[in-house]
Amino acid sequence: MADRMMVAVWVALSAVAIYGGPTSLPIHTARCLVNGTYYSPGESFQRDPCSPCFCGDNGQTNCAIVDCFFTPCVNPVNDPTKCCPICPDGIYIA
């Protein structure tokens, strides 16, 4: 009977040595996934020209929305690389 107990104790100790404790598990940091791209916590990016964003510590994406004011020109143009319309011809409303 004592031999069985020693084998059981040895097997239990071997399992601890092989598998380790919870500290041996890899630690995964929360990241943000936006349109197929991963961002690290604290990293900023732009989802589109009017939405500056940053990745929060918990892996949540936080974005602002830019509000464009009235464009004071006769022929405002929407540039897809800019958030707000621009006045390319310089003719402003009086």
Binning pLDDT at 50, 70 and 90, where does residue 89 land?
A: confident
Give residue 37's pLDDT: 93
Looking at per-residue confidence, does 3 or 74 come out higher? 74
For 17-55, the pLDDT digits (tens) are 344 444 544 455 689 999 899 999 999 999 889 999 999
Residue 65 scores a pLDDT above 60: yes
The yes-or-no verdict on residue 2 having pLDDT over 80 is no
d(CA 50, CA 84): 8
The answer, yes or no, to whether residue 76 has pLDDT greater than 60, is: yes
Task: Determine whether 55 is exposed, middle or buried from the number of CB atoms within 10 Å of its CB (0-12, 13-18, 19+).
Answer: buried
